[in-house]
Amino acid sequence: MDNRIFNCPAVSVIIPMSDNARNMKKLLTFVKRIDPHTEVIVVCNGVGSQEAILSNEWGAQVISTDLDVDSHEARVIGSAHARGDVVLFIDEYLAMPLLYLKKYVTLVKKGSDVIITTCPDHWVTKRGKRSALSAYCLLNHLLCQKSMGSASFENIPFALSRNALEALGSKNLCNPAVALVLASVLGLKITTIAPFAAEKQSTGTRDILRKDIRTIFREHAKAIQLLTGGTKLRSAEQDGQRHRDLVLSSDVLHLRSVIHLESRVKEGGGWGGKRKAKYARSHKKTQRRAH
């Protein structure tokens, strides 16, 4: 192996792999052509005899995992070992040309932090896929990123810059919806790519344990809750017309102070002062009507 690749890879390719992946030899040869300085990290699910072959003969870094690790968890494990400036996440059943994959790397090198893929058009015709696609679109709409359509970290491939990976934290990739919310809130530059138009394009690892639609819904609900109601992302700063800093204050006497930020100084001091001011206004109106 080239020492420059070993010491300072430009691109790290993360591949979750099941125990019956028969095309790994071909795949490893293929992905190493993405960049001259590419490291390949294979996260194996229950692989035994192939581990030594992949490490020694094909120069891949092999990490073994438990059988119950899903594809997203495998990517988290792999990303924790990645050293490249660009981290590219792909599927073991890759069915796309080399130039298409190089787009992800090129866009990161040109300044994008996150490169994600939109859902293929044929998803809407498959039973059960429409709901997942709707969840992706809804989250992007709430992020004020409607132009991103159905783009999601659920779709493969996707790529991150080194800075983006460190900002998001590799563990957050376990929940793709939360990772996308964090990427948007942190101001990372997100670019979308249309999926490669292949008849049998895979959008996820098939043999490694995958999430069902209910799990996707739960994760998106958590992401939406984090975006719209949590204090962690806003650090208790102004949230629409609500002021969470007042919610946390012990001397706030009424919820109206939180929603409308009514000044106690302006109203005469304290909630009693507000009642007096309100009474005074009402009394003046009564006097004007009498005259």
Residues of the chain with CATH 3.90.550.10: 3-228
Q: Which CATH number fits domain 3-228: 1.10.287.130, 3.90.550.10, 3.30.70.1340, 1.20.1050.90?
A: 3.90.550.10
**pTM to 2 decimals?**
0.71
Give the Cα separation of 283 and 154 in Å (integer): 62
Contact present, 1 and 30 (Cβ < 8 Å)? no
Contact present, 219 and 176 (Cβ < 8 Å)? yes
Structure-token match 């009693």, residue found: 272
Backbone angles phi, psi at 87, to 5 degrees: -115, 115
Contact present, 201 and 105 (Cβ < 8 Å)? no
- pLDDT one digit per residue (tens) for the chain, 291 residues: 444 445 689 999 999 887 555 677 788 889 999 999 999 998 887 655 555 566 666 678 888 887 678 888 999 999 999 999 999 999 888 888 999 999 999 999 999 999 999 987 655 545 455 578 889 999 999 999 989 999 999 999 999 999 999 999 989 999 999 999 999 999 999 999 999 875 444 444 444 446 678 888 889 999 998 888 754 554 434 344 444 444 444 444 444 443 444 444 444 444 445 455 555 666 666 666 665
159: three-class secondary structure by DSSP: strand
Q: Is 236 left (phi over 0), alpha (psi -120 to 50) or beta?
A: left
Structure tokens at 201: 């394009």
Contact present, 93 and 205 (Cβ < 8 Å)? yes
Per DSSP (E only), the strands in 118-237 are 158-161, 190-193
* Residue partners of 186: CB distance under 8 A and separation at least 6: 167, 168
Backbone angles phi, psi at 201, to 5 degrees: -75, 125
* Residue partners of 56: CB distance under 8 A and separation at least 6: none
